[in-house]
């Protein structure tokens, strides 16, 4: 009886294997021929990644300060809060270059370059991001309002102009008093319509913006620090 049962089980197993083989072969053939649909982007070239550089040269009249600064991440519209490189061919429409990206989302990348630019000035005791745990005397709040290449106006098919605009407010801590605010904008025309030339124009425009921002922050903070409210001493 056991032999008959074993024989029947082997027949059933063999039959199941015969039915499974066509399914397995079909799945293997589909996987070999249709992998691009299973893995989106597998058959595409990876995007080119671009980075920008911090500013390292500054005017000699920038004062040296003994206070500490926190640089918050810039606020930006949703269209600019991306790692994609933005362009405009119409004043009311934002687009992006194909197969190219920044190494990080634009606001975070700009924040990093701000911090490095302040450090490169060698005019401040300490500077860092809000997550660094630094006890700050001032906070620099910024908004990234423009950060795109523009083909609007004449010559829409020629080399674009790169526009960078940052609004800044310097806040005295711990009183949280806005000491001053300013907006700085730089426009640089790319030498050609190649991606390398456009990124160089971005780098130059942002570099000029950072240079102005660092100088304004240190000069404004220098004056405000002298006039800051002092805590009154308690006599006893």
Domain regions of the chain by residue span? 65-226
pTM: 0.78
Give every CB contact of residue 220 below 8 A, 6+ residues apart in sequence: 170, 179, 180
Chain centre distance of CA 24 = 46
Structure token pair of residue 143:
């908004």
Distance in angstroms (rounded) separating the CA atoms of residues 131 and 139: 12
- Reading the chain (236 residues) residue by residue, the pLDDT tens digits are 444 444 445 444 444 443 444 443 344 443 444 333 333 334 567 889 999 999 999 999 999 999 999 999 999 999 999 999 999 999 999 999 999 999 999 999 999 999 999 999 999 999 999 876 778 999 999 999 999 999 976 556 689 999 999 999 999 999 999 999 999 999 999 999 999 999 999 999 999 999 999 999 999 999 999 988 776 444 44
- Count of Cβ atoms closer than 10 Å to residue 177 Cβ: 12
**Domain 65-226 maps to which CATH number in 3.30.70.20, 3.40.50.10470, 3.30.70.1560, 3.40.50.10610?**
3.40.50.10610
């Amino acid at each position: 009886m056991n032999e008959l049962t074993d024989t029947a089980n082997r027949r059933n197993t063999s039959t199941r294997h015969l039915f499974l083989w066509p399914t397995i072969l079909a799945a293997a053939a589909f996987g070999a021929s249709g992998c691009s649909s299973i893995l989106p982007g597998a058959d595409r070239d990876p995007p080119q990644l671009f980075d920008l550089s911090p500013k390292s040269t500054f005017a000699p009249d920038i004062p040296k300060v003994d206070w500490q600064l926190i640089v918050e991440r810039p606020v930006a519209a949703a269209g600019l809060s991306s790692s994609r490189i933005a362009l405009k061919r119409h004043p009311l429409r934002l687009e992006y270059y194909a197969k190219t990206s920044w190494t990080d989302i634009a606001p975070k990348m700009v924040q990093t370059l701000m911090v490095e630019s302040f450090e490169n000035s060698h005019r401040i005791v300490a500077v860092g991001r809000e997550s660094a745990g630094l006890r700050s005397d001032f906070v620099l709040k910024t908004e990234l309002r423009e950060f795109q290449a523009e083909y609007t106006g004449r010559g829409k098919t020629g080399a674009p102009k790169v526009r960078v605009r940052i609004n800044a407010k310097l806040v005295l801590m711990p009183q949280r008093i806005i000491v001053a605010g300013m907006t700085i904008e730089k426009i640089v025309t790319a030498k050609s319509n190649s991606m390398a030339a456009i990124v160089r124009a971005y780098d130059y425009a942002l570099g000029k913006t950072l240079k102005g921002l660092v100088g304004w922050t240190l000069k404004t903070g220098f004056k405000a620090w002298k006039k800051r409210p002092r805590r009154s001493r308690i006599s006893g």
